[in-house]
Amino acid sequence: MPADTFVTRLNEQIAHEFAAHQQYLAIAVHYDAETLPQLARFFYRQAVEERDHALMMIQYLIDADADVLIPGVAAPQARFGDIVAPVALALEQERRVTEQINGLAAAARETGDYTSEQFMQWFIKEQVEEVATMSDLLRVVERSKDDPMEIENFMAREFSGEEGDDPTAPHAAGAG
Ligand SMILES: [Fe+2]
Ligand SMILES: [Fe+2]
């Protein structure tokens, strides 16, 4: 059984993951409205991933017989000045989440809860990838901000394939 502090913090993290879902959805809709379908598609997919993260955490708490609180979420930023701003916001968000995830792993270790610490390992690895992806994307949109079609071509080239299922990913609640 995880310590109360870990349960509280993981519930807070569930709220952050749902907030990330809403933020990425708002970014996807923004790009869709700007007729940038490849950027939109990328962020629709990122949104689904964030929802999955929340559902993995929910499943963990259910399995541990701990309280799960489905949070309300504050409205995300929906208006952006240029093509770069949403990606800059996304990178900022991923960096913040990385700190939160590391904090959760540390909190688990402090109480000798190695099961929860191990649960957080997958998210630590995931954050390394997400920060790297978003940093790369920020470089691309900054370099080509005056040529959105160049960015769209890059997205189609680099992010067109369906991502395969990650067999090491924790089970998400409701995923069968
Ligand atoms: Fe996430
Ligand atoms: Fe993320």
**What per-residue confidence (pLDDT) applies to 174?**
93
91: its two tokens: 């990178």
CB-based contact 57:17 (threshold 8 Å): yes
Ligand 2 center to residue 135 CA distance, Å? 12
Ligand 2 center to residue 109 CA distance, Å? 23
**What per-residue confidence (pLDDT) applies to 1?**
81
Block means of pLDDT (10 residues each) for the chain, length 176 residues? 94 98 98 98 97 98 96 96 97 98 97 97 98 98 97 93 82 91
Burial pattern 86-97, b for ≥16 Cβ within 10 A else e, equals bbbbbbebbeeb
Burial pattern 24-49, b for ≥16 Cβ within 10 A else e, equals bbbbbbbbeeeebebbbbbbbebbee
Q: How far apart are CA 118 and CA 113, in angstroms?
A: 9
Closest listed ligand to the CA of 91: 2
Closest listed ligand to the CA of 169: 1
